[in-house]
Structure 1
Amino acid sequence: MTVAKPMEPHDYWQEVFPPGSFVGDGGFRTFFPATLADGRQILLPIRPLSDGRHALASLIINQASFEVEDALAEELAARLAPFRPEIVAGLPTLGLTLAAAVARKLGHKRYVPLGTSRKFWYVDDLSVPLSSITTPGQKKRLYVDPRMLPLLRGWRVVLIDDVISSGASILAGLSLMAACGIEPVAIGAAMLQSERWRQPLAELSPQWPDRTVGVFATPMLVRADDGAWSASDTRI
């Protein structure tokens, strides 16, 4: 097992470690080792929640090294390939980094970025409210450029975000796609963060949890009396 030196905030998401470098069964202090399908590992910082007792592992993909971004995109593209996607739509903001990389791995020439900045030619009917666990309290709207609709309608679309946590951003993306007359064939993310997203997606349609794929999943963490973090069954 690798013994990690003390890590600075900018050190996370920078290296893909060989399989078995870190034990992943609990007793975490500052980082959580996420494990890819082939056993390789990426270190994620642990972010305590407001109650002080629970925490989540964090991924900010546009701060990751190119090595990490490439590994995540390659694995997600492989997991999405069975759905035979013809076009990738990416959710802002961090999902755009991953969506573009996955589209390239799938051999696509381009992708469709959704956005939160309204251009003057946008149509209000092609927008929905958007919230995110990382930007609570911010009132935003999610837009699709109407000029991009021919790239989406009638094609096999996959909807990509960097992290799926509460499910709020993905639900907004699905709502926007529905407003455009589009039903994605699958949803993809680098990280499925805890299990909180499953119920909201299942309430929208029972199909969505089974059509949602991630490179890796991370649990809700709970703090022990000694200050270490371990996986929790709690859903908060």
Structure 2
Amino acid sequence: MSASLETTRGATIRVADLVKRFRSGDETIVGVDRVTLDVPAGATVAVTGPSGSGKSTLLHLIGAIERADAGRIEVDEVAVTGLSGRRLADYRRGTGFVFQRFHLLPALSALDNVLAPLLPFRPRPDDVDRARTLLSEVGLAGRERAMPGQLSGGQQQRVAIARALVGRPRLLLADEPTGNLDSATGAGIIDLLWRLRDEHGMTLLMATHEASLADRCDRTVEIHDGRIV
């Protein structure tokens, strides 16, 4: 492992009585319903359940992509639900997120996509070196200038994983990371995530509907209708 990609200790997560509601016309839909969850540092936890059960919403709340209506989220004893302004932006920037649909910027190269979370700040030379090293770690050495349209689905997800790691996160949130990939490519992505988790010392929280993937995790949390069952 490169010295520039130092190992860290994973983050602890504490969620208490978390609630998130959505409006759909005149109807109120409860996405997350009084969820309480503790995840120790360095653990790998699968969040499972049927489509629409609240898996993605829970990850989005922990990652501060969405705001909770009630309850509390603490990551390393920092009250995420109370953050705003610069502190909220810093938290989001320091949390790795891997999405099902990759969400690469089509007009940017693989290298620039990895560096994207560091914007609007001008990336430093060591940031660029780290991005290149991460692309090498995910098996894309020599493809730094490739555009997303020139990469396969599996390669695009590898770029997305490198992007998630560029901010040296202690917490990596993965939302159905193999959902848009064939089984063989998906298995390779999971092996890669597990290796990088060990090398970088992260806590990994993953939403998945795949039982074989959940079986590899330290713990499985099942959600139905927004509640842990």
Scaled to the shorter chain, the TM-score interval is: 0.3 to 0.5
Point out the structure with the larger helix share.
2
User: TM-score scaled to structure 1, two decimals?
Assistant: 0.33
User: TM-score scaled to structure 2, two decimals?
Assistant: 0.34
